Amino acid sequence: MEATATTSVAGAPAGGRNRHAAPWLAGAAALLAISGCASVTERVSPSVAPATPNVSITTEDLVGNWGLGSFREEKDLPRTINEARRYCNNPYVITRGPNNGVMMYLADQSQPSEVVLKNASGRVYIGPPGPAGMPKDRQITSFQDGVIVAPWVDPSVTARYGTMVFVRCAPAAPAATPARPASG
């Protein structure tokens, strides 16, 4: 009987190590076929993006005194709002910036920087001038009833500082005027 040698496309003998490559190649081809179908399906059907709340805020809304807090778990938000409100006796002060922004502290900075409101894809960010959604930005996910919820865009900053909560402080009560002695 005559022996025949079978070779693979690469010129190596068939069998041996290449015997394990066939199932792998078949699996890879199947995955490529499936991913091709998925991408066609995604283009045809509407994409389902996470709901982004409609946040309406202006630079003027930011100027003032704020109680500041942060949380790591969503269930802690109500408690954090109450704690932030207590810090109004030593408020986080946001002032107008020289170029129509506001002055706020960025992560890991000891001096305030001018930040601006930015919009992209229906989301509102606050951060240094430039494109929206940069690592130094915070995304304002909620602004209602004088409370701003703003996680950092950079996950490592959020891991260190948590999601920031700003609570508008009540305006300071006017100083009481001393009573005048009655003239008589």
pLDDT of residue 25: 40
Q: 139 with 125: CB under 8 angstroms?
A: yes
Instruction: Please provide the DSSP assignment of 73-142 as one string.
Output: SGGGHHHHHHHHHHGGGSPEEEEE-TTSSEEEPPTT-SS-EEEEEEEETTEEEEESSSSTT-TT-EEE-E
- Token pair, residue 180, equals 């005048």
pLDDT, mean of each 10-residue run, the chain (184 residues): 45 48 44 40 37 75 96 96 95 95 95 95 94 96 95 95 96 64 58
Measured at the alpha carbon of residue 45, what is the angle toward residues 42 and 50, in degrees to the nearest 5? Answer: 80
pLDDT of residue 171: 81
**DSSP category for residue 57:** -
pLDDT of residue 123: 94
